Amino acid sequence: MQAKEFIIEVSLENLAKTPVKGGMTLTDALKQKMMQTGEAPMVQNDIGLLELISAADPTNNNSMTKWLAMQYLNPESNFRVPEDVNQVKQDLTKFMKLARSKKLPQEQRDLNKYKSFSQLYDVLEQYEEEDVQSGKEQKKQTKLEGIDTIIKEPGLQIYHTKTHDANCLVGKGTKWCTASKDDDGYFNQYSEQGPLYAIIEGDGENQKKYQFHYESDQFLNARDEDVEPNDIATLSKHPGWAEFLNMQIKQHYGQYFKDAA
């Protein structure tokens, strides 16, 4: 074993023994959470639990792994392993580059000061590129093979993204694992189960993005978090939303109506 590998392994071993609330070690808490969520992996030892988390750490010495582990344990977090690993790694890489280049203010360069992914995204989103639905990219999208327009009306567009490239284009600026440019595995996994829908509500700078996937019972906002009641209320103001829901009812429950008749 090389010296660098040994140092990293020792670091994970020490981290595994870190005490957390309730008198448990960090790995005990991770194991309990993974059992609850059904994500319990088949690993050889407790270090394997941390290795799953550290896969999202872009540093070469696991310096962000403890923060990631605590976010995984955070009941308000929607961080899932392994499907969110690539997207989170991209976000932390961006944070690291912004911090090193000193583009972030001094008080925002310490990752441990962020109590949640939501707080981190509030900062990172200030450095996002323009939304995909503006200007030339909007014209590009309408021509891009792999996108079916389901609903298009003022303030609401709903697309069925049939390819990974299409999903990355429409999902630009989101935290969806299916829109990770470096990995098409999760897009393929979900799209094989059933269609992925990208929903864009609002106009200009006020646009909000959502992803809907009936087969996995997921309806997520741009931060890869479950939608809130106020999101549903806003979407419900658009006639096209009712049309989309009626399409879903017909597609998934139409047979029941036929049987009842």
> Domain spans of the chain?
3-127, 135-260
Bridging pattern class, strands 208-213 and 218-221: antiparallel
Residue in 12, 110, 18 with CA at minimum distance from that of residue 70: 18
What is the sign, positive or negative, of the torsion defined by CA atoms of 13, 18, 19, 24? negative
Q: What is the average pLDDT score of the chain?
A: 82
The pLDDT score that the predictor gives to residue 4 is 43
Q: What does DSSP assign to residue 22?
A: G
pLDDT digits (tens, 9 = 90+) for 6-27: 444 447 788 888 888 778 888 8
pLDDT digits (tens, 9 = 90+) for 49-105: 788 888 999 887 888 999 999 999 988 888 888 888 889 998 998 888 888 888 888
Mean local confidence (pLDDT), 196-220 = 92
Mean local confidence (pLDDT), 155-182 = 90
The pLDDT score that the predictor gives to residue 45 is 66
Contacts of 252 (CB under 8 A, 6+ apart): 214
Q: What is the distance between the alpha carbons of residues 84 and 32, in angstroms, rounded to a whole number? A: 19
DSSP element (H, E) containing 153: strand 147-153
Tokens 């327009």 locate to 149
Mean local confidence (pLDDT), 130-158 = 66
pLDDT digits (tens, 9 = 90+) for 239-257: 999 999 999 998 888 766 5
Q: Helix H segments across the chain? A: 3-16, 26-37, 46-54, 65-73, 85-100, 117-124, 135-143, 164-170, 185-193, 229-235, 239-260
The pLDDT score that the predictor gives to residue 131 is 34
